[in-house]
Amino acid sequence: MTQTQPQAVEPCAVDLSVSELHEPTTSTSDDTLFTTVIEPIGDDKSAAEQSTEKSHSSGFSGFGFSGALLKTLEEKGYKEPSPIQKAAIPELMLGRDLVGQAQTGTGKTAAFALPLLERLEGRSNLPRVLVLAPTRELAMQVADSFKAYAAGHPHLNVLAIYGGSDFRSQIHALKRGVDVVVGTPGRVMDHMRQGTLNTSGLRSLVLDEADEMLRMGFIDDVEWILEQLPEERQVVLFSATMPNEIRRLSKRYLSEPAEITIKTKDREAKRIRHRSITLQNAHKLEALNRVLEAVTGEGVIIFARTKAITLTVAESLEASGHDVAVLNGDVPQNQRERTVDRLRKGTVNILVATDVAARGLDVDRIGLVINYDMPFDSEAYVHRIGRTGRAGRTGEAILFITPRERRFVGNLERAVGQAIEPMDIPSNAQINESRLNRLRSRLSQAASAESNEETSLLQELIERVGQENELSMEQLAVAALKLAVGDQPLLVQGDEGWLKTPARADRRDDRRDPRGRRRVDRESRPPEDNMMRYRVEVGYRDRVKPGNLVGAIANESGLQGRMIGRIQIFDSHSLVDLPKGMPEDVYNALRKLKVMNRELQITQAS
């Protein structure tokens, strides 16, 4: 809480890594945000974990939560807090500012939602907690978590506000009174500017996935919101990675924060094997089918860059006989929940998703992550692979890269601290070996299954068929296996000559100007018939990436990502293809929209 403390409190940083022990060190560098570090002690338990266990050995009961909240947690099956919850909840219950660095799947939503809900006393017509999230999908998910945790407090109201939904209904809900608001930066700014979101009673602000907000170009909006809030407020910042810009933000707006860093154990990090396949775009779908045949995984997530690609990939896999589900920005929340539940239960094994739609996805049984498209940056790669290797399991991450993208692999290796091994597209022999192994496994499981009434009937049927046709047991067994395999050939025997063709960089795409930058064709192809080309005043010099433009336009204007066409980035400007007949209010909103601290100033391209 940014207010005067009754006594001097030394800033505390809790590092929950379990690498080799080092002597505690204190740094006086200006770049160091925190001065006191509690290093891990003991075998596999951090100092925070051990001290927490001493103070409360019965899970969540030692945090001082009310009986209603403890009952809610018990009903939802919460027994023991995760490391991030053990370290963060006591600090937040004291009202302290906090910076938390943790990967996805660590339970950070509960780490901030539970103590902030518990500290809400009585009723209020003004919001007291504001959570900023980078995407509407994450905003909806966090809001749902708050609602679930507040089940024992029926007087508490939670509202999610984001672009693309009805503005007037959000105004009506805010007028009726809400305690917790979860929203995207752009929509929160809109409400604050129009006076429909009154933040004068705000007690706590949470910046969830701050690195994603930075990556999508929203950090200026976040700073504007911070500057409008009351001086006395608690600020909580969570981020999977800690770029310099996020550290600068925390230094400027947080007061003597506690820092909690949940680092993956060395052996846990190595539970994920990283491999890459270099290939041309035209071969991706065939290569994907081959990888799924040869590399076994209990559950698979395939990451694609756009919504259109998720649909193309899913259709191709379904045509090959796979059970596939899609998760992108067009999937309604209720359908998203059903899809995730199917993946969790194993009724569907393959999920094709965009980065944005998969944010916060928590399914333990994911054994394989396939990066069908190169992620926009190393932070996105870290978020993607965080979906596998959970709950003590091993996992595998396979990256598809074109020849021109090979130079970016080093950045990804540095981000995960591991080598990304080269991998060949699986051959016919590898696929056939995998098919035979799966068939053998199915046969062994069926043979060792407990007998029942149907087993006796099947035995009688086999004996009868054997006697009538004078067949041996071996012949009957082969016939049964053929029935199990079905009409499709068991072995792959198609042409695989293309697998031996070396992947070469596309000469057209690899042309460079004298300064080493890629040349842009003078005669750029025109937009599609249903699209209009627009110019925006951000470019390479502003360090803008396609993901910045797509994320900003999709989230702040309500346009769906698949409606955004080709993006061309130049030194001082960019060209973006958008649907014809854009409504005037959407056009005006885009003109004022800021990306990388610059207004788009969108105009129709000549």
| pLDDT for the residue numbered 559 | 66
Residue 82 lies inside a defined structural domain of this protein: no
Q: Which of 263, 293, 317 is the last residue of a domain?
A: 263
The tens digit of pLDDT for each residue in 470-521 reads 888 888 888 888 887 777 777 777 777 777 665 554 444 444 443 444 444 4
Q: Which of 263, 296, 330 is the last residue of a domain?
A: 263
pLDDT band (50, 70, 90) for residue 169:
very high
How many structural domains comprise the chain?
3
Residue with tokens 């060949």, as numbered in its chain: 424
| pLDDT for the residue numbered 12 | 42
**Rounded to an integer, what distance in angstroms lies between the CA atom of residue 172 and that of residue 196?**
9
Q: Which of 144-158, 305-319, 545-559 has the lowest mean pLDDT?
A: 545-559
Average pLDDT, the chain: 79
Residue 378 lies inside a defined structural domain of this protein: yes
The answer on 166 and 214 residing in a single domain is yes
The answer on 279 and 255 residing in a single domain is no
The answer on 537 and 419 residing in a single domain is no
The answer on 201 and 281 residing in a single domain is no
Is the pLDDT confidence value at 290 over 50?
A: yes
Which has more confidence, 90 or 103? 90
Q: What percent of the chain has pLDDT over 90?
A: 29
| pLDDT for the residue numbered 301 | 94
| pLDDT for the residue numbered 561 | 66
The pair of structure tokens assigned to 331 is 């999937």
The answer on 211 and 137 residing in a single domain is yes
The answer on 313 and 238 residing in a single domain is no
**Are 12 and 37 contacting, i.e. CB atoms less than 8 angstroms apart?**
no
Report the CATH number at residue 388.
3.40.50.300
Q: In 10 A of CB 349, how many CB atoms?
A: 20
Q: In 10 A of CB 18, how many CB atoms?
A: 19
The answer on 398 and 380 residing in a single domain is yes
- Beta carbons within 8 Å of 435's beta carbon, 6+ residues apart: 293, 490, 491, 492
Report the CATH number at residue 557.
3.30.70.330
> Domain of 391?
267-427
The answer on 398 and 529 residing in a single domain is no
The answer on 231 and 282 residing in a single domain is no
Which has more confidence, 103 or 473? 473
**Rounded to an integer, what distance in angstroms lies between the CA atom of residue 352 and that of residue 361?**
13
The answer on 348 and 305 residing in a single domain is yes
| pLDDT for the residue numbered 391 | 61
The answer on 185 and 135 residing in a single domain is yes
**Are 90 and 258 contacting, i.e. CB atoms less than 8 angstroms apart?**
no
**Rounded to an integer, what distance in angstroms lies between the CA atom of residue 569 and that of residue 536?**
10
The pair of structure tokens assigned to 399 is 């990256």
**Are 550 and 357 contacting, i.e. CB atoms less than 8 angstroms apart?**
no
The answer on 130 and 247 residing in a single domain is yes
Residue 250 lies inside a defined structural domain of this protein: yes
Residue 509 lies inside a defined structural domain of this protein: no
pLDDT, mean of residues 123-141: 87
Residue 19 lies inside a defined structural domain of this protein: no
Residue 507 lies inside a defined structural domain of this protein: no
Q: Which of 427, 450, 483 is the last residue of a domain?
A: 427
Q: What percent of the chain has pLDDT over 70?
A: 82
